[in-house]
Amino acid sequence: METKPLFNDEFAGAPAKRVLAHLLKHKEKGDVIAGTYCGYAPLEVFRAMGIVPAVLCAFANNTVAAGEAVLPSNLCPLIKSSMGFIETDTCPFFSISQAVIAETTCDGKKKMFEFISERRPMYVMNLPHIPERKEAAAYWLGVVRDLKAFLESVFGKNAEDADLEAAIKDSNEKNRRVMRMFGYAALDAPALHWSEMLDTVFLATPLSGAEINGILDEKLDTLAERAAAGRRIGDPGAPRVLITGSPVAGDAVKVYKIIEDEGGVIVEIDSCVGTKPFRSGIKEVTGDPLAAIAERYLSIPCSCMTPNLRRMEELSARIEKTKPDVVIDVVLHACHSYNIESSRVEKHVREKHGIRFLKIVTDYAPGDAGQLKTRIGAALEMAKQEMS
């Protein structure tokens, strides 16, 4: 496999460091920074208003204990880690954020936001959880308009339709590049490593297209060269793995490391730290750009929605595109919605696609690594036998 990392040469360090430097530059210029936790935050509204988004910290095991000092311990690690970062004042992105934009995705997060709202101005976007209902679209558009009004009143910023249209175009151009990059993970000889997928997501989420497209173009050239040279990630014959489920990053990447150690190659990450935020464009219409933004965000197939049939449609599309041998559904401990939905995902994967399926429930702590290794190793071994 290609040993030179795709991003670290460019960014002289981890993507988080690069993103922080980018945010601090904006801060020095006097720009407003707003923190977010979730894929439902409509970043184009921020950007159209000249507000810079910062993705807040949520993926470290070492902040879970501090989170548990405030929250019940039987919550998902993402929530406890997020709270712990705030309690210990160790998230640099939160430190420089002047407001937090939150969403009512799940009960734990919703209630955690009450604590965070004591520290920063906060707008909680109230999601309609049955997005297909006809009243949901109009309601959600009202929420997006209200978010804009909140940002206007707190920061004295404004955005005209032309600004929103430009922000939509900017996102679409960036997202197309990101999806082209992810396409290299899905080649017959995969050329993009899972850690590079995560780096891409962490850089491309807070940065605008104008800020990152040039860099993405360079990385696309590097990937094209890699592919042309026949350099591949994983051994020939390695079972191809599609990841779906809860967002996985930080200490939860133990799962990805085990998949790799056990001989698998990750060809797709169908989650919010994967292709999910990048794969559907926003309609470039003149008239009501806010409505186009609202429509796109409401279509995100998160398990907080019911019945979330769109997840199965998008999962099918990703399976057809990336041709996995195994689908691994990673559910964070105590994430009830992804956990409950898993049996439906399993049925869909097995019956519609005839693909091996494995569900994993895990958290950020390293304690279950041995058990995960056994289960993942067995699933990949069986996949290999089926392939031969």
Residue 338 in contact with ligand SF4, rule: CB under 6 A: yes
Which is it for the CA torsion 216, 242, 36, 146, positive or negative?
Answer: positive
Tell me, what DSSP letter sits at residue 349? I
Residue 345 in contact with ligand SF4, rule: CB under 6 A: no
User: Which span (189-197, 300-308, 351-359, 366-374) binds ligand SF4, by CB under 6 A?
Assistant: 300-308
CA distance 104 to 338: 15
Whole-number Cα distances in Å, 38 to 61, 112, 193, 384: 19, 14, 24, 36
Closer to ligand SF4 by CB, 298 or 349: give it.
298
Indicate which single residue of 18, 47, 109, 226 sits in contact with ligand SF4 (rule: CB under 6 A).
109
Residue 79 in contact with ligand SF4, rule: CB under 6 A: yes
Residue 326 in contact with ligand SF4, rule: CB under 6 A: no
Residue 198 in contact with ligand SF4, rule: CB under 6 A: no
Residue 39 in contact with ligand SF4, rule: CB under 6 A: yes
Whole-number Cα distances in Å, 272 to 38, 198, 241: 8, 10, 17
CB 54 within 8 A of CB 34: yes
| Closest listed residue to residue 186, CA positions, set 234, 246, 257, 222 | 234
CA distance 286 to 61: 45
Residue 76 in contact with ligand SF4, rule: CB under 6 A: yes
Closer to ligand SF4 by CB, 168 or 335: give it.
335
Closer to ligand SF4 by CB, 184 or 297: give it.
297
CB of 104 to ligand SF4, least distance (A): 10
Residue 213 in contact with ligand SF4, rule: CB under 6 A: no
Angle at alpha carbon of residue 154, lines to 48 and 119, rounded to 5°: 115
Residue 167 token pair: 């922000």
Residue 105 in contact with ligand SF4, rule: CB under 6 A: yes
Residue 304 in contact with ligand SF4, rule: CB under 6 A: yes
CB 15 within 8 A of CB 199: yes
Site size toward ligand SF4, by CB under 6 A = 20
CB of 302 to ligand SF4, least distance (A): 3
Cα end-to-end distance, the chain, whole Å: 23
Residue 140 in contact with ligand SF4, rule: CB under 6 A: no
CB 355 within 8 A of CB 347: no
Indicate which single residue of 35, 42, 234, 247 sits in contact with ligand SF4 (rule: CB under 6 A).
247
Residue 6 in contact with ligand SF4, rule: CB under 6 A: no
Which residues bind to ligand SF4, rule: CB under 6 A? 38-40, 76, 78-79, 105-106, 108-109, 246-247, 272, 300, 302, 304, 332, 335, 337-338
